[in-house]
Chain A
Amino acid sequence: MIFSYNWLQSFFRGRLPKPKKLAEILTMSSFEIEKLEKKGDDWVLDIDVLPNRAGDCFSHLGIARECAALLNLKLKTQNTKFQPKTQNLDIKNLLKIKVENSDLCSRYTARVMIDVKIGESPEWMRERLKVCGLQPINNVVDIANYVMLELGQPLHAFDLHKISGKKIIVRKAKKGEKIITLDNNKFNLAQDILIIADEKNPLAIAGIKGGKKAEIDKNTKTIVLEAANFDKIIIRKTRQELKLQTDASLRFEHGIDANLTEQGINRAADLIQKICNGKTSKGLIDFFPKKVFPKTIKLELDYIEQLLGVKIPKKEIISIFQKLGFTPIDQSIGVKKMLLVKIPTFRLDISIPEDLIEEIGRIYGYDHIKPIFPLAVLTPPKRNIDCFWQKKVKNILKETGFTEVYNYSFINEKDAKIFNWQQKTLIELENPLSAEQKYLRPCLIPNLLKNIQKNQKRFNEIKIFELGKVFRTGLKTGVEEKRMLTGILTGNNMFYQTKGVVDLLLNKLGISNVWYNEQEMFICKTKKCAEIKINGKGIGFLGEISAEIKACVFAIDFEKLQKHCSEEVMYQPISLYPTAIRDLAVLVPREIKVADVLNKINIAGGKLVRDVDIFDIYEGEKIQDGKKNFAFHIIYQAEDRTLTNKEIDEIHNRIIKVLEKNPSWEVRK
């Protein structure tokens, strides 16, 4: 919020520090100064008033009070008492007020000003309004705005002659009611909106904006000044509903001291008398059924040290409270030192001892609190198993040459269509910022593919992965959220490379019982697609995406994967005896899988076959149609002796025999 340095200075006889210095002091002990700028003879301070202090500090008086407390300055006594230049006209004969919803309007104060001359406001006032970003309109409206900026109390002025029945009613809007506001906007008023009305029409949206009907114009002579206190929740709801934020609504929705209306209306009346030649009719209408009195809070002095970690002398604590305008009374009982602190009603933010300790802390200065390490029991942190496996998996993929990416948690409508996800399985956003955030991502692939597309111009081979949350509709809370691990490799025929990555990853995670099942996936338009299974349970899939998108993807449900991970590694003794390698080539029909042949070799070979490597798969020239050739290295080794040629030949022949049991298989010798 914008404040004028000169205006703040006007509250003091003594000099305030230079603008820069003042900004620094306020920043360290009250509110951050977001901007400081010279404007003519004045300086503009953009003060980030904290939301809990809006009640008293959305005003120059409030900031001046802060300055007084921080700088130990005395505020000039305010225009002590309002002296109305009255006429004998009693307000009661001029205007009636009725508040129907006292829960939403806790106070309604009104004065009637007579013989008002509408014109321009004086130069000094116009200047101050402009510095604070407000456009001068006419003297009465300017005075209302000026008082709001000065004291924080929003005011409104109506032309009494335009009020039907000379009666003001504070009530909820009726069905079908409309209003045209001062800036010529038309609003249909819902029934939960609080309005100011006369006997016939709405005159204003309470606490937010005045209406055209009783507007002050150049011919206005008699005006009604309104200073009220409206409920902060209804103001907030209404301005959200109508999308209409005003200087008044901003103040009301944060809450204002109900005791401020009288001060505000009198200040305005005083200025109207001085500036617009107006006179005040006798009396003040003041609907104020539940008076507001200062609170008192009990504060144990020991608690201050317990919370801040520094001992501050009692004298200093009392002095801080006094500077803030609080009244501390010593209530110590024996050794238990205690203060009873009376809080002025404008400090809406203070209600518990901790609030008082904050005041002490900031005025005393957080810089004066020395850092001290806490004394705590030496319990070691608990291990987070989720984080552990996440870290491990990321490291493995990094080691195999993958780059980690972080994508947005959203997908758009088009993605959902392309991937054929049913809308009822997706989580839709109520208020997306753009069409790009229509749904929460149910899968990491769409965004990863976009990453590929983006980088493909500059990089030939791309290997990227992401480990992040995906979202689907679920049973319990409506949303099922889980971690997914997804990677993509670009290039032609990347299936086996990808499978190799998955094999390596699972192996490094201590998982051995891995199996791949042929599976069709909507995402994979090729036949090269498989489900990944551990101990017979599916945990994800891998596959080549399509003929145009030359890339292979793997996607693994991380929550399922993690259950199978193991840190256990057991050393296998290294045999001291030599290995012998024999090659074996077998011609099989094309539909036969490597795994089928491998299985047979392993079973027939027994435990002396240490390993079987396939080193060639060939079909084509010199091979009869419908057949293909597998070539294996078979590695023989025993743990307790050197195998003799005779032994090896025996096993090798056994393997050949088993393979040739199948009439369409032919071992090539």
Chain B
Amino acid sequence: MDLKKLKITAQKDIKSAQNLAELNNVFKKYLGKKGELTRILRSLKDLPIKKRKTQGKLANQIKKDLELIIQERKDKLQDAKYKIQNTDFDITAPGKSPVLGHLHPLTLVRRKVAEIFQSMGFTIVQGPEVETEWYNFDALNIPKEHPARDLWDTFWLKPKNKKLLLRTHTSPVQIRYMEKNQPPLRIIVPGRIFRHEATDASHEINFYQVEGLMIDKKGKITVANFKAIIDEFFKGFFEKQTKIRLRPSYFPFVEPGFEIDISCVNCLGKGCSVCAQTGWVEILGAGMVHPNVLKAVGLNPKFWQGFAFGVGMDRLAMLKYKINDIRLFYSNDLRFLQQF
């Protein structure tokens, strides 16, 4: 039998096999135990040595080639069979997801705030939630019987003579940190705070604030610098080209003091229900650290100055995720929490 001819007919047979059974027959015909090529290979031993060498080489090569083509044909036929079997496969049926957990939206906001400020060199600092009157008020230039104390409705602890309270802001940590660390310094203080006031869609008895403080040599940290830092923060936080504006305000621990509005992230300043049609949203209190605060921690206001600010994290989260009721954060309804 002419080997080359055998190869050509075998190739034809392989090609014309229309299913796996036919292909198997073709395999048997040529490469099976009694297959034509197998027979030739077996008969090689009877040939003279010279011819045996050339013929043997050729026959083995053809065997390899045929095996390869059969495998290819087999793959093709198998795929085709699989496709036919799955013609009714419904890709629109829902996927099966693994069960993941969820972090609280305020945790997510806190992380984002921390990330932005850390990138500008601010260190994260924390402090106690139960505070003394000294740290929460007096050291912050809010003396006893001062009407400004009414700005912070306070939960007091028993016994009252101990003068312990639930911190009404994160500002006491400014004092605690400056007592132990020399400027220049840059910190943010995220944490839970408490207010003794009736709850409604925008008021809670406990909520979260992040405090910022940057102190450096006199003349090095200005209102202009504060504007740059806070503008960068809001742009990063909302990932939008927000604008800011400063209005005069009063907090005893800063002078000058201001309130910061950002252009409404909901309507981009056009006016909507979120911003009461003004295009601006009040969001943050700030100012240049009052000399009395620096004195309270033993820093000489002749040599040091800086800015401080406080922003409600619940409020940031509400604006970011378009949440209209602060109480949702503490209601722990899984239908709410599992959206984050």
Contacts and interface: CB of A to CB of B under 8 A. Distances in A.
A375 interface: yes
Contacts of A391: 111
Interface in B282-322: 288, 290-291, 305
Interface stretch (A165-173, A398-406, A520-528): A398-406
Given A237-B145, A307-B305, A430-B156, A477 B101 contact: no
A405 B104 contact: yes
Interface string B65-100: 000000000000000000000000000000000011
Given A403-B337, A437-B205, A454-B333, A469 B192 contact: yes
Contacts of B162: 478
B307 to A, nearest CB: 9
B248 A362 contact: yes
Interface in B209-260: 214, 216, 218-225, 227-229, 231-232, 245-250, 252, 255-259
A309 interface: yes
Nearest to B100: A401
Interface stretch (A382-390, A620-628, A653-661): A382-390
B332 A407 contact: yes
Given A354-B291, A409-B129, A254 B184 contact: no
B312 to A, nearest CB: 14
A439 to B, nearest CB: 10
Residue picked from A53, A254, A382, A481, most chain B C-beta under 10 Å = A382
A430 B158 contact: yes
Classify chain A's interface size.
35 or more
Nearest to A402: B101
A619 interface: no
Nearest to A432: B155
The size bracket of the interface on B is: 35 or more
Given A357-B256, A382-B123, A406 B104 contact: yes
A25 to B, nearest CB: 11
Interface stretch (B10-18, B24-32, B114-122): B114-122
Given A381-B123, A394-B107, A398-B101, A406 B329 contact: yes
B205 to A, nearest CB: 6
A376 B151 contact: no
A663 interface: no
B228 A399 contact: no
Contact of A387 (B100, B104, B126, B305): B126
Contact of B258 (A354, A366, A400): A366
B160 A386 contact: no
Interface string A352-396: 101101100110001101111111111111101011000100110
Interface in A255-309: 306-309
B206 A408 contact: yes
A358 B255 contact: yes
A386 B333 contact: no
Interface string B170-195: 00000000000000101000001010
B267 interface: no
Given A384-B124, A398-B102, A308 B246 contact: no
B332 A451 contact: yes
Contacts of B198: 433
Nearest to A32: B247
A376 B216 contact: yes
A376 B157 contact: no
Given A51-B148, A358-B248, A406-B329, A306 B222 contact: yes
A361 B286 CA distance: 14
Q: Which 10 A-B pairs have the closest CB atoms?
A: A309-B224, A309-B222, A358-B256, A366-B246, A371-B228, A306-B219, A371-B227, A430-B156, A398-B101, A374-B225
29 contacts: A52-B250, A52-B252, A233-B145, A236-B145, A237-B145, A254-B147, A307-B223, A310-B222, A355-B255, A358-B255, A366-B248, A367-B246, A369-B223, A374-B225, A376-B216, A386-B126, A387-B124, A403-B337, A403-B338, A404-B101, A404-B102, A405-B337, A406-B104, A409-B194, A431-B196, A440-B130, A464-B332, A478-B162, A481-B129
Given A361-B248, A401-B100, 4 more contacts: A307-B256, A357-B255, A381-B122, A440-B166
Interface of B: 99-104, 106-107, 111, 114, 118, 121-126, 128-130, 132, 145, 147-148, 150-151, 155-160, 162, 164, 166, 184, 186, 192, 194, 196-198, 205-206, 214, 216, 218-225, 227-229, 231-232, 245-250, 252, 255-259, 288, 290-291, 305, 329-330, 332-335, 337-338
